[in-house]
Structure 1
Amino acid sequence: MAAENPVAGTAEEVEGNWCLIESDPGVFTELIRGFGCTGAQVEEIWTLDADAFHHLEPIHGLIFLFKWVDDKPAGRVVTDRSDIFFARQVISNACATQALLCLLLNLRHSDIDLGQTLNGFKRFCQDLDPETRGHCLGNEEKIRKVHNSFARPVLFEFDTRPGSPDDYCYHFVGYMPIKGKLFELDGMHEGPIELAEIGQHQNWLDVVRPIIEARMERYSVGEIHFNLMALVSDRQRCYERQIQLLVHQPSPLSHAERQSEIATLRTFVKFEQEKKRRYRQENIRRRHNYLPFILELLKQLGETGQLMPIYEKAKQRAYQCQAYKSDKN
């Protein structure tokens, strides 16, 4: 990222600034909760095999992180679709929240309630052009505060030029089906990118997977810095709903089969509960300011004469690792 004008403090302390967001399902799930949206969560996808998608369905959209390059869009950029919520990215570091919001604000599903903040923002921006929507997002205090709650404490924060594509090393975009067509929602373009038609009996995931795979293959050999996440319905709610159906509604299953299925679903519910607990713990650690401890530790090591020996030992290990890699090559 291009850097200029070092500013002391965190991103939250610089008015109008947005922090970088880690590509992690726990972070994105908490963003959703923080926005006031319920019934949705984010899951990481480790492979493009169809089975990796199947067990997460319904999948409402995908969020793809990749190393940004100045590339032509893979489809037709449309600027005449007022029925699609799309905002231009005019704020540095906002692409994570921007990609997530573009999926949520185009979503119509009974499982998911956008909540007061997102519904109000959508109504306010409904008749505005994408550029103005991008500026409105920058001025939406609640959304910005939730985003910047993941700002990591640093000694120096570097300000960047808002909206310049060259400022972004990595970039988030969204993919989702809208009214029978597959769209890529990338705030760096003027509008949604229409990628393909989706057949009446076709699963949109079967259409998008080869498109993402082809995009990854365009990069140089050895480039592995990709991340793919799915916006899905709250898994715990889905499993609990299935349990209620098995308990209260007639089923072709025998009593033993029904009880076995209920036991399996309860195991899944416990897994989701444990996952949410783990996400909360990880996010607390992400937000914790470890810098005073680190600085005090370095100070104490220096005062007791232990710092330089540790440094020299670490440097020697680095040289050995580099020599080993050179020999392997």
Structure 2
Amino acid sequence: MSEAGNWCLIESDPGVFTELISGMGVSGVQVEEIWSLDDESMAELKPVYGLIFLFKWVNGQPQPVMTDSGPTDHIFFANQVITNACATQAILSILLNRDDIDLGEELSNFKEFTADFGPDMKGLAISNSDLIRSVHNSFARSDPFVNEMQDPKSGKDEDVYHFIAYMPIHGALYELDGLSQGPVNLGACDDDNWTSRANEAIQNRMARYSAAELHFSLMALTRDRLEMCEEQIEELDGLLLSLPENAVERQQLNNDRTALQHKLHMEQEKRARWHRENTLRKHNFIPMIYNLLRTLAERKELEPLVTAAKQKASTRSRTMKQ
């Protein structure tokens, strides 16, 4: 795989992915972590544009078989040619296969520019995109002790994790994995049942692992919940203004508005928390820690703290053995 300027490993987190998407100029969408693909959970998240699945890569494990599904020229599919880029590539696989998402000027131009490219050239185009690379690498941790993800095909012994995408395209469910030869058609579906079909595919993948394997993550690319709440509140306000003061419907509409206002507040708090967490992820705390330790050493307070910590650890170890 090409290094293409050394792409960093990024964390599997909905706040990271949402800010990454926004950084590429895309608007009106966000990412949510999900724990179940049952109908009730999916109804809460609608509209769902696609799913992003994280799993531990096992070299030599059987992959889904590509079916003869006819031409796939209408599908944006890129081979992964960059180590550590699978998260961003899974996100792009969904974004660039939707016509109902505002991609912004730069990503729209990228989609148009690469429309006639083959999968390998699309992968190289991603690796050479200054926008995509810079936004991806903006989430690099400053910690010099963080190990980067290894190339899934390198054959090394370290655990390696990989992201792929599932989404409906023109009446069929597709698995989009940059390490596959092409998009995998998983069968016909419609807008109402595609997540159920995806659930089957994900469960089949998970069944290949031992019962002790818990390293999976599933996220959904959805419409921006803030925008949805604001639009629904605005719609209710319009209805309230059109009703007379003594209308019996006003009480229920006011209750609905209060519920939406609470939901909006919760979403705003979540976005603020995501932003703070992302800021902390990017911040380099090493200089602060170094200066703190140096100050403690100059005051001759460091050695007693180290001794006390060793004694505490030793006591805890003896207690656990008893």
Return the offset for 1:267. 1.3
Q: Does 1:129 align with 2:118?
A: yes
Candidates 233, 254, 257, aligned match of 2:249:
254
Aligned 8 A contact 2:55 2:215 in 1: yes
Aligned 8 A contact 2:57 2:152 in 1: no
**Which residue pairs with 2:194 in the alignment?**
204
Aligned 8 A contact 1:40 1:231 in 2: yes
Rounded to whole Å, the distance in 2 between the matches of 1:203 and 1:253 is: 38
Rounded to whole Å, the distance in 2 between the matches of 1:255 and 1:176 is: 40
Query: What percentage of residue pairs aligned between the two structures are identical?
Result: 43
Q: Does 1:73 align with 2:68?
A: no
Number of equivalent positions: 308
SS at match of 1:67: strand
Return the offset for 1:229. 0.5
Candidates 280, 296, 305, aligned match of 1:285:
280
SS at match of 1:43: strand
Candidates 278, 289, 292, aligned match of 1:297:
292
Aligned 8 A contact 1:125 1:136 in 2: yes
| 169-178 or 235-244, larger mean C-alpha shift | 235-244
| Coordinate RMSD, CA, aligned | 2.7
Please give the per-residue CA displacement for 1:170-219, whole angstroms capped at 9, x wherever unaligned: 01111100011101111011111111211x57421121112212222221
TM-score (normalizing by structure 1): 0.84
Candidates 93, 107, 118, aligned match of 2:98:
107
**Which residue pairs with 2:142 in the alignment?**
153
Please give the per-residue CA displacement for 1:26-64, whole angstroms capped at 9, x wherever unaligned: 000000110000000000102343322220111110001
SS at match of 2:210: coil
Question: Unpaired segments of 5 or more residues in structure 2?
Answer: none
Spell out the pairing of 1:1-329 with structure 2 (5 A cutoff). Answer: 16-70=5-59, 71-76=61-66, 80-109=71-100, 112-155=101-144, 164=153, 166=155, 169-198=160-189, 200=190, 202-249=192-239, 254-300=249-295, 304-306=302-304, 308-310=306-308, 312-313=310-311, 315-316=313-314, 319=317, 323=321
TM-score (normalizing by structure 2): 0.86
Closer, same or farther: CA 135–39 of 1 in aligned 2, 3 Å: same
Question: Unpaired segments of 5 or more residues in structure 1?
Answer: 1-13, 325-329
